[in-house]
Homo-oligomer: A and B are copies of this chain.
Amino acid sequence: MINRSGRFARRAVKVDQALDKIMQHAKRLDDEIVSIDSCIYRRIAKPVYARESMPHFRRSGMDGYAVLSEDAACATPQEPVCLKIIDEVPAGSVSARQVVPGTAIRLMTGAAVPDGADAVVMFEQTEEFQADGQDCVRIKHRTVHGQNITAIGEEIAEGQLLMGAGTRIGPGQVALLASSGYSQIAVIRRPKVGILTTGSELLAPGDPLLPGKVRNSNVFMLAAQIEQYGGAAVRYGTVPDEIEEVDRMIRAALEECDMVLVSGGVSVGDYDVMAEFFTATNGSGLELLFNKIAMRPGSPTTAAAVKDKLVFGLSGNPGACFIGFELLVRPALLAMQGAENPFPSRLRAAMAHDFDKGCPHERYIRGRLSYDANQKLSVCALKQNNSSMLVSIQDANCLIVVPSGSTGAASGQQVDVIPLPYETATYGEEGDVR
């Protein structure tokens, strides 16, 4: 008989306690310099300040005429004011002339407003004509000081904070960096995350199906989750159910990676080598953080620190593996990239139906958030939510948190939900539950 003593003696920690322990070892990674051409989705290493005012000259907001506002303060279509056109300024150029009373300079949107002028009149409010071979313009509307001129520094003042450390670079951020003269940007290195799977039952997607065997899906799912949160996944394949080989492969992966995830083998089964790996603490430099969490699914989820790098033992069950990643690995990955708030936000939503939890433990249920008829958030638990089932993961846009102690949640009851990244950053219309 195989000795399983001690396996049931695991002490469960709460999810928050597990996270606390993990975050103590989720250290921010080093900086690296990248070109602005390849910085999308990276995170800023240190606060970025404006090197220049924006605009750095008085900028015209319109195609039109730069004038002295006093000249045309009372202009109307019936009584237009006539001015001599003394120059033309395309965007990017600067006029050598100065606007003086009775004159105007033609200029384009974005051009520098010439000295002397204090207003720009848009083309649509003007009419050109010639008088004695001189190009002139009729101003047909009242003109006020500062009109259609963006003042120096009006958008951004030199020295102003543009974005804080840890900010993720999206379209708005990269535009701001470019316009502020950053051709290279200090970002935080992407965490390299090794993935190993355990289990002699695992087949590759292309293998012929054999009795009792199943295809390995967790490695693909985890790689996608890692990418989604800014990491770079490194696949180490499936390890045999032998502790020596598991130990060797995990330590080799740790040499190359910043974090290692192992799916499967963490439960109390006879072949659960990860349980064995995590308890073999004899001089191995491994510090077990926890090996049981008071939650369903994923209660045997385990984590350790090995020389200050995190090793996670995630469930082999796809549903539990997915949720273990979202709850525990995601915050660590984001903290390693310097995210200001690495923890998932929580929203409150009304249950759209009764939900029987089926166990007294805190449960995390794959769900789908949408807006009800009153534009309030409502959430459905997806069908096929068992820990061993993966089919509903694709439809989940949130995890529903059903607290411990209760038997479930009644229709209309307010529950916490943790939003998941979804195709578009929104929730479908009412009833949008597949």
Interface residues of A (CB under 8 A from B): 1, 4, 8, 36-37, 40, 52, 54-57, 59, 61, 63, 88-94, 106, 108-112, 123-124, 128, 130, 135, 150, 155-156, 162-163, 167-184, 199-202, 204-206, 209, 211-225, 227-228, 241, 267-272, 316-318, 322, 344-345, 347-349, 371, 375-377, 384, 386, 388-397, 419-426, 428-429
Contact = CB atoms under 8 A, between A and B. Distances in A.
A179 B316 CA distance: 13
B36 A220 contact: yes
Given A171-B221, A217-B179, A375-B348, A391 B155 contact: yes
Nearest to A63: B269
Contact of A172 (B128, B344, B394): B394
A223 B175 CA distance: 10
A110 B211 contact: no
B181 A111 contact: no
Residue from A92, A124, A171, A347 with most neighbouring chain B CB atoms (10 Å) = A171
A34 to B, nearest CB: 13
B420 A212 contact: no
Prevailing SS type, chain A contact patch: loop
Given A200-B92, A270-B90, A394-B163, A389 B212 contact: no
A177 B422 CA distance: 18
B268 A394 contact: no
Given A227-B40, A426-B425, A220 B175 contact: yes
Contacts of A184: 206
B221 A88 contact: no
A269 B109 contact: yes
Contact of A1 (B135, B167, B371): B135
Given A181-B215, A345-B424, A389-B155, A174 B220 contact: yes
Contacts of A393: 171-172, 175-176
Contact of A221 (B175, B349, B419, B421): B175
Given A61-B388, A267-B63, A424-B345, A110 B205 contact: no
A236 to B, nearest CB: 14
A347 B322 contact: no
Contacts of A174: 217, 220-221, 223-224
8 contacts: A52-B209, A59-B388, A90-B241, A90-B270, A94-B212, A109-B267, A175-B390, A183-B206
B217 A176 contact: yes
A91 B200 contact: yes
Contacts of A93: 200-201, 212
B181 A423 contact: no
Contacts of A209: 52, 56, 181
A110 B178 contact: no
Given A112-B211, A391-B156, A61 B386 contact: yes
B390 A179 contact: yes
Contacts of A59: 388
A219 B394 CA distance: 34
B397 A425 contact: yes
